[in-house]
């Protein structure tokens, strides 16, 4: 009977989703360390949705370790596996969900579109709220 060879699955790094350039300047001192950290953490099952105005968003993914995380109970030879993945038994995966809602952005955008005098104020608020440049 031929032996079946199992190949390792590919999981992208978090740096493909989160760029250090997207981090606020206040965190500039952390950018180098975060760049290395984001390159060494992997993910799978990314799902996200974002409203048209950017006032609401939902992100969900599973952070993956390339080896299953096992802890041995001393002296017993019994191992506890931390979050073993159901579809890939050689890894551990941890679910992460982030959701936010900033209703004020809907009003700020509608004011900006109706009254041109608020343009400079709006352009000052958007970078603080870390919103995409499409509103600038």
In a domain, residue 19? The reply is: no
In a domain, residue 41? The reply is: no
Backbone angles phi, psi at 43, to 5 degrees: -140, 165
pTM for this predicted structure = 0.60
In a domain, residue 117? The reply is: yes
> Cα 12 vs. chain centroid, distance in angstroms?
12
Q: State the total domains in the chain.
A: 1
In a domain, residue 113? The reply is: yes
What are the tens digits of pLDDT across the range 103-130?
Answer: 887 777 666 666 655 566 666 666 666 6
Q: Which domain holds residue 127?
A: 102-136
What are the tens digits of pLDDT across the range 76-99?
Answer: 888 888 888 888 878 888 999 999
Tell how strand 56-65 and strand 42-50 pair up: antiparallel
In a domain, residue 128? The reply is: yes
What are the tens digits of pLDDT across the range 19-73?
Answer: 777 777 777 777 778 888 888 888 999 999 998 877 889 999 999 987 788 888 8
């Amino acid at each position: 009977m031929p032996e079946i060879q199992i190949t390792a699955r590919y999981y992208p790094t978090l740096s493909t989703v989160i760029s250090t350039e997207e981090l606020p300047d206040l965190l500039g001192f952390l950018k180098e360390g975060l760049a290395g950290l984001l390159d060494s953490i992997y993910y799978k099952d990314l799902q996200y949705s974002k409203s048209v105005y950017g006032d609401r968003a939902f992100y969900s993914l599973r952070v993956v370790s390339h080896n299953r995380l096992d802890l041995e109970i001393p002296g017993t030879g019994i191992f506890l596996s931390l979050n073993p993945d159901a579809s890939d038994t050689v890894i551990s995966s941890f679910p992460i969900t982030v959701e936010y809602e900033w209703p004020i952005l809907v009003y700020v955008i509608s004011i900006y579109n109706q009254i041109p005098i608020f343009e400079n104020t709006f352009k000052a608020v958007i970078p603080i709220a870390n919103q995409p440049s499409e509103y600038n």
